[in-house]
Amino acid sequence: MATRSASSKLSMRNLRANLARFLVIGLFVVFVLVPLYWVVITSIKPSSDYLTVPPVWFPAQPTIIHYTAALFSYRGLQGLINSLIVASAATVLSAVMGTMMAYSLARFNTGGQHLAFWVLSQRFLPPVAIILPIFLLFRSWHLYDTHIGLIIAYTFMTLPLSVWMMYAYFRQLPKSLEEAALVDGLSRWQAFRMVAVPLAAPGVAAAAVFVFIAVWTEFFFALILTSRYAFTLPTVFRAFLGFQGAQYGEACALATTSLVPSIILGMLVQRHLVRGLTLGALRG
Amino acid sequence: MAHSTTSRNLPSIPSGNPSGLVSAWADRHFKWLMVAPAALLILALSIYPLLFSLWVDFVNYDFEIPGHAFVGFQNFAQIVDDPLAWESLLTTIILSLTVVAIEFLLGLALALAMVRMFRGRGIVMSILIIPLFISPVIVGQSWALFLQRPFGPADYLLSHLLGHPVAISWIGEVPWVYIAIVIADVWQWTPFVFVILLAGLAAIPPHLYEAAELDGVSTLQTFFYVTLPQMAPIILLAITFRLLDAVRLFDIIFMLTGGGPGTATYTASFYLYQIGFQEFHLSMATAGSWLFLILLSVVIMVLVRRLLRAEAA
């Protein structure tokens, strides 16, 4: 008897704990999804459905006119292309330079802890503290409002991420294969290029995806360093500030265009998320 | 084995010829050559701008006025004398502490709820992390759309939930505008804290819980005497990262409130942007950003050094 009542008390407690758990999870899932749903659904709403009471949660006649308007009338397509160019180039540069530096830091302890710490501290440097001199520098070097200028800025911005993610990765990899390669007569560069990099390829790929997402979603540098020519997708949203022209559909179409690729990429690196968010300080 | 085949195929380099000398030199300085590209780029785009701006701080730098007359501490004085500078700083401090506190509590609750397995956990996990991959600009805009009357459904939903009509001017009125910013920031960054804390929770050795259970310790006591102490370094890590990002709050402000109503939601970054890039007081903005950086460096030093120590331990 006693054991049965104890176990039923325990299961009551379990039930309540589970209820609380799923309430927390459920509420947060709704909180995440509702605004997203509103944006995606507004992007296919005809404008007559904008201001109805009650709000239209699913349009009777979905339309794609807002997408064509956002891409062609608001230069969204140009922004999309620029974002692709800039993000791809910066990703390659950042991954290559970051992997090289990380390898040196991990294998040779180059510069002691100071160099690694210095790179990490760049991650916390507020952009507003350095953007004005960079802006003046870019103007005098004719890098202002160019793809190359923005690529350089974003490579710089994402280096702490790629260096530290790869630093953590290399420290987990055994040295023995590279040492064997050196004994076989390979130069240090060849040992890096032909032994270490192939082994670290999954880590490099994950770091590269995080760099791409960081550049794809960045706003501040692009706002200051570009204007009519090299502007990226996030800066196009300035056209919708205040929604004076009631371009709700266009704004949402552009938002959907921008968020779908980065969410898909994010799902691909979900396994590496903890390392990506903490720059390798924590293993996921 | 991959490496033995590659070495067999490589031509052996006779010592003494120029390319051999170069490669020997490259091998000797290998570790610095590997560091050089990244280090030089960081130097060029962070140390150089900081030194350059240090000079701009003490001159009158103006596109309109030729020459850069030395003005001493006048630029700093202008910032310190501007009440809006202080208000923006205060807004930044209050907003960032508020959002980080809420994100920590919600993130912890979510992590505790998600740490054990259940059916569909993978899908739920994927949904919870979505906000991390969205541009803050879009987050700001989406919440503006969701909250703003007459278009947004927020007031309509609230009216139904609460059972009486709600007509809140989310973007145009204090204090609602602060709540709107907090909601948008919490939406975007709670997943960040959650993911890190979840990793920390999952890493706690199960035998500690088993020991606590054997000792007949209550759930609450287990939480305070086992879970929290075990998680302390990871909590510090999550809060450090979040706090240092929260103080630079700009994108959401730019899209959601534009600093308004009036100047009520100016943050430090938004203020410096306005001064520098809208009013073109370049020297004043630079002086302000140096002061901001000095304030932040103190916080960075304390938090990040402690973090490194916690990780080394």
Per the structure, the complete domain to which residue B165 belongs is given by: 77-312
CB contact under 8 Å between B49 and A130, yes or no, is: yes
Pick the closest to residue A71 from A85, A82, A56 (CA basis): A82
**A37 at the B interface (CB within 8 A)?**
no
Mean pLDDT of A85-108: 96
CB contact under 8 Å between B286 and A132, yes or no, is: yes
Ramachandran class of B69: left when φ > 0, alpha when ψ lies in -120 to 50, beta otherwise: beta
Q: How far apart are CA A47 and CA A66, in angstroms?
A: 9
Q: Supply the pLDDT for residue B4.
A: 42
3-state secondary structure of B28: helix
pLDDT tier at A264 (50, 70, 90 boundaries)?
A: very high
Question: How many residues are given for chain A?
Answer: 284
pLDDT tier at A54 (50, 70, 90 boundaries)?
A: confident
Task: Indicate whether B48 and B140 sit together in one domain.
Answer: no
- Is the residue at B65 inside a domain? no
Q: How far apart are CA B294 and CA A119, in angstroms?
A: 18
Instruction: List, for residues A64-75, the tens digit of each pLDDT value.
Output: 999 999 999 889
Instruction: Give Cα separations from A13 to A8, A24, B47, B147 (angstroms).
Output: 9, 17, 58, 39
Q: What is the CATH number of the domain that holds B102?
A: 1.10.3720.10
CB contact under 8 Å between A219 and B135, yes or no, is: yes
- CB-CB: which of B31, B127, B196 is closest to A29? B127
CA-based nearest distance A44→chain B, Å: 15
CA-based nearest distance B124→chain A, Å: 7
CB contact under 8 Å between A28 and B151, yes or no, is: no
Task: Indicate whether B106 and B145 sit together in one domain.
Answer: yes
CA-based nearest distance A213→chain B, Å: 7
Instruction: Give Cα separations from A4 to A14, B215, B216 (angstroms).
Output: 15, 21, 18
> What b-and-e string marks burial along B154-185, b requiring 16 or more CB atoms within 10 Å of the CB?
bbbeeeeeeeeeeeeebbeeeeebbebbbbbb
- Is the residue at B64 inside a domain? no
Residue A265 confidence (pLDDT) above 80 = yes
Q: Supply the pLDDT for residue B34.
A: 94
Task: Indicate whether B33 and B114 sit together in one domain.
Answer: no
Residue at token pair 């390798």: A280
Neighbours of A171 (CB within 10 A): 12
- Structural domain spans, chain A: 2-42, 72-277
CB contact under 8 Å between B27 and A187, yes or no, is: yes
Q: Supply the pLDDT for residue A255.
A: 96
Q: Supply the pLDDT for residue B313.
A: 53
Best residue in A263, A277, A279, A283 for a mutation probing chain B (most B CBs within 10 Å): A277
Q: Supply the pLDDT for residue A25.
A: 96
Task: Indicate whether B27 and B142 sit together in one domain.
Answer: no
Task: Indicate whether B185 and B50 sit together in one domain.
Answer: no
Q: How far apart are CA A202 and CA A179, in angstroms?
A: 21
Q: How far apart are CA B187 and CA B248, in angstroms?
A: 17
Q: Supply the pLDDT for residue B305.
A: 75
Task: Indicate whether B29 and B107 sit together in one domain.
Answer: no
Q: How far apart are CA B114 and CA B59, in angstroms?
A: 56
Q: How far apart are CA A254 and CA A232, in angstroms?
A: 12
- Is the residue at B68 inside a domain? no
Instruction: Give Cα separations from A61 to A44, A46, A48, A248, B197 (angstroms).
Output: 8, 7, 10, 16, 44
Domain count, chain B: 2
Which residues of chain B lie closer than 8 angstroms to A186, CB-CB? Answer: 3, 6-7, 10
Q: Supply the pLDDT for residue B288.
A: 93
- Is the residue at B51 inside a domain? yes
CA-based nearest distance A200→chain B, Å: 15
Task: Indicate whether B140 and B280 sit together in one domain.
Answer: yes
- Is the residue at B103 inside a domain? yes
CA-based nearest distance B273→chain A, Å: 7
CA-based nearest distance B193→chain A, Å: 9
Q: Supply the pLDDT for residue A10.
A: 67
Which residues of chain B lie closer than 8 angstroms to A243, CB-CB? Answer: 144-145, 148, 151
Q: How far apart are CA B298 and CA A198, in angstroms?
A: 41
CA-based nearest distance A62→chain B, Å: 18
Q: How far apart are CA A214 and CA A234, in angstroms?
A: 12
Best residue in A103, A132, A215 for a mutation probing chain B (most B CBs within 10 Å): A132
Task: Indicate whether B115 and B239 sit together in one domain.
Answer: yes
ipTM value of the model?
A: 0.91
Q: How far apart are CA B215 and CA B176, in angstroms?
A: 49
Residue A11 confidence (pLDDT) above 70 = yes
Amino acid type, A128: V
Instruction: List, for residues A175-217, the tens digit of each pLDDT value.
Output: 999 999 999 989 899 999 999 999 999 999 999 999 999 999 9
- Average pLDDT along chain A: 91
Q: What is the largest CA-CA distance in chain A?
A: 86
Task: Indicate whether B53 and B24 sit together in one domain.
Answer: yes
Q: Supply the pLDDT for residue B312.
A: 59
Q: Calculate the dihedral angle through the C-alpha atoms of B57, B61, B67, B69, rounding to the nearest 10 degrees.
A: -40
* Tokens (6 digits) for A121: 């501290």
- Is the residue at B261 inside a domain? yes
pLDDT tier at A138 (50, 70, 90 boundaries)?
A: very high
Pick the closest to residue A209 from A75, A87, A123 (CA basis): A87
Which residues of chain B lie closer than 8 angstroms to A97, CB-CB? Answer: 37-38, 41
CB contact under 8 Å between B10 and A185, yes or no, is: yes
Residue A252 confidence (pLDDT) above 90 = yes
Instruction: List, for residues A142-185, the tens digit of each pLDDT value.
Output: 999 999 999 999 999 999 999 999 999 999 899 999 999 999 98
Task: Indicate whether B249 and B297 sit together in one domain.
Answer: yes
Task: Indicate whether B31 and B168 sit together in one domain.
Answer: no
Pick the closest to residue A17 from B122, B119, B108, B220 (CA basis): B220
- CB-CB: which of B3, B124, B258 is closest to A184? B3
Print pLDDT tens along chain B (313 aa): 344 444 444 444 444 456 778 888 888 899 999 999 999 999 999 888 888 888 888 888 877 777 777 888 888 999 999 999 999 999 999 999 999 999 999 999 999 999 988 899 999 999 999 999 999 999 999 999 999 887 889 999 999 999 888 888 888 888 999 999 999 999 999 999 999 999 999 989 888 888 888 888 888 888 898 899 999 989 998 998 999 999 999 999 999 999 989 999 999 999 999 999 998 888 899 999 999 999 988 887 888 777 777 665 5
Q: Supply the pLDDT for residue A263.
A: 95
3-state SS of chain A? CHHHHHHHHHHHHHHHHHHHHHHHHHHHHHHHHHHHHHHHHHCCCCHHHCCCCCCCCCCCCCCCHHHHHHHHHCCHHHHHHHHHHHHHHHHHHHHHHHHHHHHHHHHHCCCHHHHHHHHHHHCCCCHHHHHHHHHHHHHHCCCCCCHHHHHHHHHHHHHHHHHHHHHHHHHHCCCHHHHHHHHCCCCHHHHHHHHHHHHHHHHHHHHHHHHHHHHHHCCHHHHHHCCCCCCCHHHHHHHHHHHCCCCHHHHHHHHHHHHHHHHHHHHHCHHHHHHHHCCCCCCC
Which residues of chain A lie closer than 8 angstroms to B286, CB-CB? Answer: 132-133
Instruction: Give Cα separations from B129 to A283, B113, B255 (angstroms).
Output: 17, 15, 22
Residue A7 confidence (pLDDT) above 80 = no
Q: How far apart are CA B47 and CA B52, in angstroms?
A: 8
**A201 at the B interface (CB within 8 A)?**
no
> Across the strands, what pairs with B59?
B70
pLDDT tier at A284 (50, 70, 90 boundaries)?
A: low
- Is the residue at B198 inside a domain? yes
Q: What CATH number belongs to A72-277?
A: 1.10.3720.10
**A263 at the B interface (CB within 8 A)?**
yes
pLDDT tier at A13 (50, 70, 90 boundaries)?
A: confident
Task: Indicate whether B164 and B223 sit together in one domain.
Answer: yes
Q: How far apart are CA B36 and CA A114, in angstroms?
A: 15
Q: Is A232 exposed, middle or buried (0-12, 13-18, 19+ CB in 10 A)?
A: buried
CA torsion sign for B243, B48, B274, B72 is positive
- CB-CB: which of A42, A126, A243 is closest to B269? A126
Which residues of chain A lie closer than 8 angstroms to B129, CB-CB? Answer: 266, 270, 273
